[in-house]
Amino acid sequence: MELRHLQHFVAVAEDQHFTRAAERLMVSQSGLSASIRALERELQAPLFVRTTRSVTLTEAGRALLGEAERILAQVRAAHDAVAAVQGVLRGTLSLGTEQCIAGVHVARLLAGFRRQHPDVEIRLRQAGSGALAEEVAAGRLDLAFAVRTETDTDQLRSVPLTGEPMTVLCHPTHPLATAGAVMPEDLGGEAFVDFHPDWGRAASPTPPSPPRA
């Protein structure tokens, strides 16, 4: 059984799509399909139920997935142990980020990290702050750049990196247009064009400064 076959199998199981898995692995879709068929022949069992719209694991595929992940993790650990003796940092960094975070240039940070640690694989996930916090707490992400949405817990700790003022945009004839500083209680009963709730707009119950109209 070849390790690349297991790597290909896990990727398809995670993405539930051959094309997306092939793009992530940077292999051809035909090559990925051939790799999965070779693994199925070796195990003498179908691993996926394939339709035109989706790919799902069979019972045999579900049984293999945990073992394949364990084997690949052990291989990575072996590589990392040898690299550590040689003074080389290896492993995987699973990072989450909001689609727009003011004051944090994620691409620049990742480029600098890559230059310093070229042997570390970076896995990037974009989602709302609430979902990112849940994934960090569950251990699926190592860290995330997000809007703070809750207090620290045993599974989650936040470190302030930057901040930005909140601004109320309104029509020039609106009473708040000339109010100067606007407090949250001034906004009661107002209709808003707002972000999706998961964006984490209520990041801080005590804003560092009153919003400006």
Distance CA 150, CA 156 (A): 9
Quick one: DSSP state of residue 197? G
Please report the pLDDT score of residue 74 as a whole number: 93
Cβ(147)–Cβ(103) below 8 Å? no
Find all residues with CB under 8 Å of 102, minimum gap 6, and list them: 162, 164
Find all residues with CB under 8 Å of 47, minimum gap 6, and list them: 9, 36, 39, 40, 57, 58, 60, 61, 64
Domains of the chain, first to last: 3-85 (1.10.10.10), 91-145 (3.40.190.10), 165-213 (no CATH)
Find all residues with CB under 8 Å of 10, minimum gap 6, and list them: 65, 68, 69, 72
Please report the pLDDT score of residue 89 as a whole number: 78
pLDDT digits (tens, 9 = 90+) for 169-208: 889 999 888 888 888 888 888 888 876 665 554 444 444 4
pLDDT digits (tens, 9 = 90+) for 88-135: 777 888 999 887 776 788 888 889 988 888 888 888 888 888 888 888
The region, left, alpha or beta by phi > 0 then psi within -120 to 50, assigned to residue 163 is beta
Is the model's pLDDT at 64 over the cut of 50?
yes
